[in-house]
């Protein structure tokens, strides 16, 4: 099966970064985040509202995406560990449809996360795409933060440089790292919405 071309930072990045206005109504910064229950890679149900009282980072992923691979060279793992040290939950969500060449079965996705020495609170399966669509997630990695009261306080990119080059990570504004530090310090976020970048999510019903 031929792999669908990935979005490349630069020329195609704008296609990946702007979420349609109509879709944004489902999940709006400053409003309660849509609740969801998803199965983790071990088959255990995980509910967003179970973390109320604790901030939660949501990371949309697809291991086949070069932008995801860029951040799993160590940056994403570091952010996940930083979140844990601040008592911030970190949920990885994969909304890739089963019909896509990029789809990984739960056990294989769990194995991949273990191989990367990732440290999220849970890795969740969203094959139906309903949770991804509720948050208007369009790319991987698309990032969100829900505060301890269950309100969506951040939506956007992991950082400011839309490239698949690892060497760009130290040069970028680290949006998620910055937001977590501000949350831990009890400060308002200096940026609540930024431009996400990455590979288009292969939702159920879309082209594989």
Beta strands in the chain (DSSP E): 37-40, 45-47, 56-60, 89-94, 122-125, 139-140, 143-146, 152-156, 199-200
Beta strands in 45-180 (DSSP E): 45-47, 56-60, 89-94, 122-125, 139-140, 143-146, 152-156
pLDDT of residue 11: 31
- What backbone phi and psi angles, to 5 degrees, belong to 75? -65, -45
- Which residues in the chain land under pLDDT 50? 1-25
Sheet containing 143-146, strands listed edge to edge, beginning at the edge strand earlier in sequence: 45-47, 37-40, 122-125, 89-94, 56-60, 143-146, 152-156
Q: What pLDDT digit, counting tens, does each position of 126-185 carry?
A: 999 999 999 999 999 999 999 999 999 999 999 999 999 999 999 999 999 999 999 999
pLDDT of residue 84: 98
pLDDT of residue 205: 83
The contacts of residue 30 (CB under 8 Å, 6+ apart) are 151, 152, 153, 192
Cβ(38)–Cβ(137) below 8 Å: no
pLDDT of residue 15: 35
pTM over 0.75: yes
């Amino acid at each position: 099966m031929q792999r669908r071309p990935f979005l490349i930072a630069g020329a195609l990045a704008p296609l990946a970064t702007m979420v349609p206005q109509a879709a944004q109504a489902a999940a709006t910064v400053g409003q309660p985040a849509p609740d969801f229950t998803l199965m983790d890679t071990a088959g255990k149900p995980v509910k967003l509202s179970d973390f109320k009282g604790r901030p939660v980072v949501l990371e949309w992923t697809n291991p086949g995406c070069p932008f995801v691979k860029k951040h799993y060279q160590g940056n994403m793992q570091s952010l996940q560990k930083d979140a844990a040290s601040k008592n911030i939950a970190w949920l990885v969500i994969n909304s890739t449809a089963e019909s896509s060449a990029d789809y990984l079965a739960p056990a294989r996705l769990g194995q991949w996360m273990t191989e990367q020495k990732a440290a999220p609170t849970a890795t969740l399966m969203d094959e139906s795409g309903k949770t991804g669509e509720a948050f208007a997630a369009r790319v991987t990695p698309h990032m969100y933060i829900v505060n301890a009261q269950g309100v969506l306080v951040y939506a956007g990119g992991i950082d400011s440089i839309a490239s698949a080059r690892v060497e760009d990570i130290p040069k970028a504004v680290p949006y998620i790292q910055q937001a977590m530090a501000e949350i831990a310090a009890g400060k308002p976020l200096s940026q609540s919405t930024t431009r996400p970048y990455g590979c288009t999510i292969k939702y159920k019903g879309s082209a594989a």
